[in-house]
């Protein structure tokens, strides 16, 4: 099952479009993080990006998991600090914003909430909310030194989400939304790729991979998802040592449908910028028609 949002007329391959993945090293102060996000969105737009992606938890990396609970926002509340900031930035710069993730209140949950959703909100260039995706797969890891269990404060989402983003003067992109740990579940991307009118053009993976798991698997998994779905991947990440002592892997990158890394920010704040070319997608799928050979 997929959900769709924001339709457009599809035609022949359009001109390439510039996209950007922002890397941050977010901390526990919301306003500081929002200011850094605004800075990098503006920089990406200055470099010609028409679509900008932020990392998971761009708005807050607290000292403990429960720190995010007081910042939970109501769905669709553009008067709230985080959603409002993203909406205004999209409108100010005339760009699509894949808004990393933010803590989203669960409908009907008591206040103060004990659990929230980890949610991507996508904003169109006019500032309107174009799509929402709640993280399906919740990270759990314990190697004896590092322990993580997102289910302690997060509630999993319910369904995959795809959307259409019409780039003015450029292509209409079919985008599959995912978040961090989702990357390890290829069946999610298969469901999105074959659950709509046509295959995906772009897969979005905002993340805060740990240094340990990122060093081992991040690039490997991103390139695999690009190759097997013959789509571009944009992966905006947290990348550095945070005030809470956690170290994230970074390496925000944009990968093409052949698995080539087009741009990468290894560590620290920055922005990876690359061209997404519909003709390249068509070329890869014509030369190696793997999507047509699927049997299961």
Catalytically active residues, by annotation: 56, 135, 180
Give CA 13 to chain center in angstroms: 24
Tokens standing for 189?
Answer: 């991307």
* Number of neighbouring beta carbons within 10 Å of residue 176: 29
Give CA 210 to chain center in angstroms: 16
Contact 254, 234 (CB under 8 A): yes
Q: Which residues contact residue 14 at a Cβ distance below 8 angstroms, ignoring those fewer than 6 apart?
A: 167, 170, 171, 172, 278
Q: Which residues contact residue 237 at a Cβ distance below 8 angstroms, ignoring those fewer than 6 apart?
A: 21, 23, 55, 56, 206, 207, 208, 209, 214, 218, 248, 249, 250, 251, 252
Please state, in angstroms and rounded to a whole number, the distance separating the CA atoms of residues 205 and 98. Answer: 10
């Amino acid at each position: 099952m997929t959900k769709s949002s924001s339709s457009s007329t599809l035609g022949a391959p359009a001109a390439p479009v510039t996209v950007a993945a922002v890397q941050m090293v977010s901390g526990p102060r919301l306003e500081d993080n929002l200011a850094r996000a605004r800075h990098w969105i503006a920089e990406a737009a200055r470099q010609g990006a028409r679509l900008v992606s932020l990392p998971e938890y761009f708005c807050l990396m607290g000292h403990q998991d429960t720190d995010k609970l007081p910042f939970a926002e109501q769905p669709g509340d553009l008067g709230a600090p985080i959603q409002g900031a993203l909406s205004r930035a999209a409108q100010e710069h005339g760009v699509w914003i894949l808004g990393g993730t933010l803590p989203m209140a669960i409908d009907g949950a008591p206040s103060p909430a004990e659990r929230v959703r980890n949610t991507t909100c996508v904003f169109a260039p006019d500032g309107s909310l174009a799509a929402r995706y709640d993280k399906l797969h919740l990270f759990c890891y314990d190697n004896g030194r590092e322990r993580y269990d997102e289910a302690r404060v997060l509630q999993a989402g319910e369904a995959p989400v795809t959307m259409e983003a019409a780039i003015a003067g450029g292509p209409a992109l079919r985008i599959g939304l995912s978040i961090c740990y989702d990357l390890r579940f290829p069946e999610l991307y298969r469901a999105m790729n074959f659950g709509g009118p046509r295959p995906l053009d772009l897969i979005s993976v905002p993340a805060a991979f740990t240094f340990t798991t990122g060093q081992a698997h991040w690039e490997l998994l991103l390139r695999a998802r690009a190759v097997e779905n013959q789509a571009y991947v944009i992966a905006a990440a947290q990348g550095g040592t945070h005030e809470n002592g956690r170290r994230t892997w970074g390496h925000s990158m944009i990968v093409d449908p052949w698995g080539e890394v087009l741009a990468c920010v290894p560590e620290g704040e920055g922005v990876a910028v690359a061209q997404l070319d519909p003709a390249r997608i068509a070329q890869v799928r014509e030369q190696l028609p793997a999507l047509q050979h699927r049997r299961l």
